[in-house]
Structure 1
């Protein structure tokens, strides 16, 4: 399977499958998966991973270029980018997940895409207001005055680029639903060097200084969207799919359809936002530990944003595969795709963990020449590396839930894992007068979630077991909490309702 055999056109497999087989044991499922399915998932995930890495690298480049102005500028740029992820980009990444569930019917896909862009732009309005007046909010939670002022200045400019980011992400999801994975990667390969040049020019060769960073990013986001439109128009696969129709504002803004979209989009936003917000809270807490911890935390967070694109991409592939196979009425195919995604994510997560551990001592030099920052980064890096396997498993299972239209379960699980367990433990370890582990304590809390650490010498074992428990719990939800035949029925009903509404509108016109 490749980009020229769109997922939307997969033939139904359910007619030749024993649907009772979905209730057999785990070992039986994995015997049926086979290397071909795992290989196809890896092949599909490569352009998606490259796309998200390049997309996030545009922000990383901005942080690196701005960071050369000094540690205060580095902290402000990194903090602003993290804030953009949590409050803004999660609208695009989470809200667009509704297309994973709805985008398995070619005739309705363009309407869903148009609806996605318009509704996500509307959902961004309150976020834009927050960005414009973020300084008093940050001051109220005790952040340094200089940092608060700089972050607000950056965020106000970034408001103009956010609609471009949302539209680009929605169009990318529209193409991914058709199995067109490479288009956004091609665009980002073309735009990435332009982004670098823009950042260097605006930051170092204009009076804007640090504010050149959001100016360059805003231009980059709109350029990505415009170029992706062009690539979509020229794509032979897109033409063959014949998914695009005319602009249909009346169908797009149908209240029942909009409500159905928001029922999937809002939990998707919550699912992505709660995870990234947990990272942001760690960053806020790191600011209380001093400038050194804040600088090291900026490096760690930026690194994790890049690395997290890999398991996130497996989640995207899983959601696309599962959603389309459910639309093709293949319960067994969807189930096998879900479990193959989980297996592949574990294998890739193991490789990432090994690489991070090997590079931990010198990694900090990519961001800073300060020896103290580099040393602290090297101490925290093993904690970041240790939960890569579980993070991959959780992302793959989260993608399966999005493909099924059960985004709300992922959101609930994130809230419990991060806000009931991980953050209280991490903050306690970081600020406790007994343990006083500082920045390491925050990341221990991020890692352990369900684990417990009685001694510092057992810290690594505890956090690995803990976050593996989180990933395993999500896997159990997919394994035991899914009736694949019923998920097929739900997909058929959703498609039928949308088709009926469109038919009525066309008759009315």
Structure 2
């Protein structure tokens, strides 16, 4: 907590407000009730604010009534317009109109930081879609007809199962590394990276060995696949197995950098791979044939992405260690990192379950579409085209949701509950506006879009039938992306996994089967079932955030998480930094950020909240340092 500087006697209005604040602060919370919210969440009524602001220049001492009026004027702008960092000292005496203006400016600055993270992630997602399109186009043109394309799609489906688990395990770094960086325990990030790599490899190595052994072909036949397609897919997987270990390296390293507010390597790696995709696929498939050339090209592109990300990390870590050794996040390989595996696994296992529950539902929809009794091949083809459109729109939601997860985790680690809440609300509003615009555009272009996707009249008609349902679900997808990012940032993956499983698998999939098979809506019914589950999930999670989420408690849980990782890995806690400037208003205070800390790492998106003021833990037990926490903290997960 910052120190108070002496101030002249406040005005009567300020004294009354201070007394009210002190009275409410001293009142204990009701038994079994929620802890009181942080002080800056309490807004005055319009009448109270008007009375405070009417003091004007009429004798109010500097630092008195108008000091209170300024921040309350900003507060009155609403929860979203609360300052994302407190204003500089010279701004205290501005009039309320200037307060509103500065609040809007600060909101714009935070939106800029969020978009600096989301932009590279969006580019990465689009380049991944482009690389898959290059692969399918090349194999369909140079391969052995429908067999080659069917085998490639089946092999890619098996790869997706492996991808989802690896990405889910690595996603726990959003919690652990993001909060550790916000708490300024920089050395802990390197140990968390090693934990994540080790746990991912524990899954990836046996899975890759299974693919390389050739055992997948008979297994796919037993699962009902055609023998020739299963044999070709098994042969592809025998050569594609290096993709999974390479993905472990690139995914964990990317999360390590993203936790520090550095997202540019993801886009650079994606653009580099996409630039190499066309020559690699055409040359290797043309020279080696599709059965050996396609796996060779895919492994090569994944290796390029891994090399780009690792090279970026190595160069950045070396520069930081040379110029700012106290902020160095990589201190070398250490077996001590393995002691943190149990703590990391507490978040990694539910994170993987959360991600797989969402990814695999679409695999189930595609599988069920192939079993439809009427024109299954037409409906399956139309469903594939609509899914490509949906993936493109989902990439926007994913990028902003992941950027918000990073910023929220940094803010929670720094002990800034109010900032975390504002970033969440800001991300929800940004995606609501952006996805509404995307949905309106797609609705206006739906007929032209179906004609552009396929020349087949039957498939085109089915696409036009399914597309409106997909368009209506765009806004809900965006809200779920941000809410999922919040759950990952706060370490609530178990809550997310439970909600994902209940909404998608216990409600959405049965509803889709009912509509698709019993009511004979076909692929449209299957899609409507999953879309309704997404809408239900968005409503349920928003209700949970509004009614059950205590942001101050999440700060305490974050401190406990970082403390547990410090204790298990044996990492040396970063000494508490000098307290940042704070502003005392009517007995209420909140830590601000120095300009240097607020800027953070600007490459690829600044880590503004990531360098929190005085939040360093002083013991592995999780006792708070400068975050104002003075008692041992509970670290239970939701």
User: Closer, same or farther in 2 for the Cα pair 1:175/1:13, shift >3 Å?
Assistant: farther
Preserved CA contact (<8 Å) 1:94 1:271:
yes
Is contact 1:102-1:112 (8 Å) kept?
yes
Partner of 1:98: 172
1:243 aligns with 2:324: no
User: Structure 1, residues 140-187: CA drift from partner, whole Å, max 9, x if none?
Assistant: 443444443343333333221111112111111111111111122122
Deviations, residues 305-351 of structure 1 (Å, cap 9, x unaligned): 34322211122111111111111111111111112112212122212
CA distance in 1, matches of 2:393, 2:130: 10
Please name the residue that 1:206 is paired with: 287
Gaps of 5+ in 2: 6-20, 22-36, 45-75, 84-103, 574-638
Q: 1:112 aligns with which of 192, 195, 200?
A: 192
Partner residue in 1 for 2:511:
425
Contact 1:422–1:445 (Cα < 8 Å) also in 2: yes
Alpha-carbon distance in structure 1 between the residues aligned to 2:152 and 2:459 = 17
Check if 1:80 corresponds to 2:166.
no
How far apart, CA to CA, are the structure 2 residues paired with 1:215 and 1:235? 30
- Aligned-pair Cα RMSD in Å: 3.1
Tell me the residue number matched to 1:283.
366
Over 3 Å counting, the alpha-carbon distance change for 1:297 and 1:215 in structure 2 is: farther
- Secondary structure at the aligned position of 2:287 is classed as coil
Q: Residue 400 of structure 1: CA displacement?
A: 0.7
The change in CA–CA distance for 1:304 and 1:152 in structure 2 (over 3 A counts) is: farther
Name the counterpart of 2:273.
191
Deviations 1:373-396 (A, max 9, x none): 333233222222221111110110
> What's the offset of the Cα at 1:291?
2.5
Does the alignment pair 1:217 with 2:292? no
Contact preservation (8 Å) 1:19, 1:485: yes
**In structure 1, what is the Cα distance between the partners aligned to 2:413 and 2:565?**
13
TM-score by structure 1 length?
A: 0.84
Q: Where in structure 1 are there 5+ consecutive unaligned residues? A: 1-11, 450-466
Question: Equivalent residue for 2:119?
Answer: 46
Q: Give the structure 2 partner of residue 55 of structure 1.
A: 128
Q: Is the 8 A contact 1:66 1:73 kept in 2?
A: yes
Distance 1:59 1:215 in 2: 14
Which of the pair is proportionally richer in helix? 1
Q: CA deviation at 1:279?
A: 0.1
Larger Rg: 1 or 2? 2
Distance 2:77 2:237 in 1: 50
Kept in 2: contact 1:112–1:252 (CA 8 A):
yes
Aligned residues: 472
Give the structure-2-normalised TM-score: 0.68
Indicate conservation of the 8 Å contact 1:232/1:238, yes or no.
no
Contact 1:111 1:252 in 2 (8 A): yes
* Superposed displacement of residue 294, structure 1: 2.7
1:71 CA displacement:
4.5
The aligned counterpart of 1:360 is 446
Q: Output aligned runs, 1:328-339, within 5 Å.
A: 328-339=414-425
The 8 Å contact of residues 80 and 155 in structure 1, kept in 2 or not, is answered as yes
Distance verdict in 2 for CA 1:389–1:14, change over 3 Å: farther
Q: What SS does structure 1 have at the residue aligned with 2:82? A: helix
Per-residue CA distance 1:203-233 (angstroms, 9 max, x = gap) = 3x13422553332111111111112222233
